[in-house]
């Protein structure tokens, strides 16, 4: 490997023909902890939420096989346990690895306690703490509501009065198809179908308010996977430059900022971790040349609008006798310029 010194991507995922299904792992191995892939966030004021897996008795949704079969079972569930009663306090637990477009998100929930509030909800098409949709049920207010938050401003809630008893399990669901939103409580569409164009994609997760202690179980999403913009860029450039053997884009993913392959000629390789060279390029912000007998490779950073490295691209070119790092970089420059002209932010690659 030669540095060019002078130049300065706890659940199971089942892919199906019609889409994908994601069931969240609230297994016993996570008891007392926040499940993998989730991040606690807070809208409003007060203390952050305390999200962890706890044991609880959950009734089966399937009919018993016999009169002796148990009607409830003790199993791990997701809980929000903090009882900070700040009024405008909205703890959320957001699933970070996937950005969703069209989906059906369902969960069971139980309102456990709360003096000021007893609420449980789903947050979806979440952009950040100031931009998202919510559908939630209230036990003290006896309401089922949808609202949105845009630039920190909450819309007027939409939805009916309905009894939501505490201490029992209910089912909550939301379905998004393009700009259409359908919200369900216990299988009933209590809110007329909605149309809203504020957000077309985003992350999703769980929501509570104020001092509400709420449990969630059996959460799953059926969705149409979104193709990362980086994959479209890679395929476009591979067609334009047929002598390029491979083109790969790596992006930091997760809390550890580990580099992950998000786009490549071979889609089956997507999800692989970056190697030492990619890690070094990201940290140092300068390209490297990796010589080879048949393939010459340039590994270079991609930068945001502020000039900070946010991703790494690996360009594999047909080699020739006398190939040097400088000539390889010169050959890679048109591709790098094309990529860089389309990238101002990390979201330009992965969302």
255: its two tokens: 């809390």
285 dihedral zone (left: phi>0; alpha: psi -120 to 50; beta): left
pLDDT for the residue 251: 93
pLDDT for the residue 15: 35
Same domain, residue pair 100 and 217: yes
Same domain, residue pair 135 and 18: yes
Same domain, residue pair 166 and 257: no
Place of tokens 């903090």: 82
| Domain span at 334 | 227-350
Burial bucket for residue 157 (CB in 10 Å: 0-12, 13-18, 19+): middle
Burial bucket for residue 79 (CB in 10 Å: 0-12, 13-18, 19+): buried
Sign of the C-alpha dihedral, residues 124, 126, 129, 132? negative
Of 207 and 268, the one with more pLDDT: 207
Q: What is the mean pLDDT of residues 104-124?
A: 98
Smallest Cα–Cα separation from 106: which of 175, 180, 192, 198? 175
Place of tokens 């691209």: 313
In a domain, 2, yes or no: no
Same domain, residue pair 206 and 82: yes
Would you place residue 79 in the very low, low, confident or very high pLDDT band (cuts 50, 70, 90)?
A: very high
| Per-residue pLDDT tens digits for 233-291 | 999 999 999 989 999 999 997 656 789 999 999 988 888 899 999 999 999 999 999 98
Any idea what the CATH number is for the domain that residue 89 is in? Answer: 2.60.120.560
Same domain, residue pair 151 and 268: no
In a domain, 5, yes or no: no
304, pLDDT greater than 60: yes
Any idea what the CATH number is for the domain that residue 304 is in? Answer: 3.30.450.40
Tell me 268's DSSP state: G
Cα distance between residue 143 and residue 315, in whole Å: 55
The number of domains in the chain is 2
In a domain, 3, yes or no: no
Burial bucket for residue 162 (CB in 10 Å: 0-12, 13-18, 19+): middle
In a domain, 141, yes or no: yes
Q: What are phi and psi of 225, to 5 degrees?
A: -60, 140
Contacts with 299 (C-beta within 8 Å, 6 or more apart), sequence order: 277, 278, 281, 287, 288, 290, 312, 313, 314, 315
8, pLDDT greater than 70: no
In a domain, 163, yes or no: yes
CB 117 within 8 A of CB 140: yes
Last residue of a domain, one of 198, 223, 248: 223
Same domain, residue pair 204 and 284: no
In a domain, 294, yes or no: yes
110, pLDDT greater than 70: yes
Cα distance between residue 64 and residue 173, in whole Å: 24
Q: What is the mean pLDDT of residues 324-335?
A: 93
Integer CA distances (angstroms), 22 to 97, 112, 348, in order: 11, 26, 24
Percent of the chain scored above 90 by pLDDT? 75
Same domain, residue pair 16 and 147: yes
pLDDT for the residue 267: 85
Last residue of a domain, one of 223, 245, 270: 223
Last residue of a domain, one of 223, 249, 281: 223
């Amino acid at each position: 490997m030669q540095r060019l010194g002078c130049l300065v991507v706890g659940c199971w995922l089942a892919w199906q023909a019609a889409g994908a299904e994601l069931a969240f792992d609230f297994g016993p191995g996570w008891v007392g902890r926040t499940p993998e892939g989730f991040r606690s966030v807070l809208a409003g004021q007060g203390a952050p939420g305390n999200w962890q897996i706890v044991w609880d008795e959950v009734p089966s949704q399937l009919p018993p096989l016999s009169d002796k079969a148990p009607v409830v079972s003790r199993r791990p569930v997701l809980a929000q346990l903090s009882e900070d009663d700040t009024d405008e306090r909205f703890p959320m637990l957001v699933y970070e690895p996937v950005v969703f477009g069209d989906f059906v998100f369902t969960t069971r929930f139980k309102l456990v306690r709360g003096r000021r509030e007893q609420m449980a909800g789903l947050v979806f098409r979440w952009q950040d703490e100031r931009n998202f949709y919510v559908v939630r049920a209230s036990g003290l207010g006896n309401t089922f509501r949808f609202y949105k938050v845009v630039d920190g401003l909450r819309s007027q809630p939409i939805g009916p009065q309905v009894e939501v008893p505490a201490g029992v399990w209910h089912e909550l669901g939301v379905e998004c198809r393009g700009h259409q939103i359908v919200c369900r409580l216990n299988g009933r569409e209590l809110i007329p179908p909605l149309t809203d164009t504020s957000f077309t994609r985003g992350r999703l997760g769980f929501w509570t308010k104020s001092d509400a202690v709420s449990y969630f179980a059996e959460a799953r999403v059926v969705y149409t996977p979104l193709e990362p913009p980086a994959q479209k860029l890679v395929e476009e450039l591979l067609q334009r430059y047929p002598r390029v053997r491979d083109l790969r884009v790596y992006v930091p993913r997760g809390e550890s900022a580990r580099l992950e392959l998000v786009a490549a000629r071979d889609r089956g390789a997507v999800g692989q971790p970056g190697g030492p060279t990619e890690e070094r390029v990201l940290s140092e912000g300068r390209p490297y040349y990796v010589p080879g007998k048949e393939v010459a490779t340039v590994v270079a950073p991609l930068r945001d609008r502020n000039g900070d490295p946010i991703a790494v691209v690996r360009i594999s070119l047909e080699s020739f006798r006398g190939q040097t790092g400088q000539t390889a970089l010169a050959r890679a420059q048109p591709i790098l310029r094309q990529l860089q002209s389309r990238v101002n932010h990390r979201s330009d690659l992965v969302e």
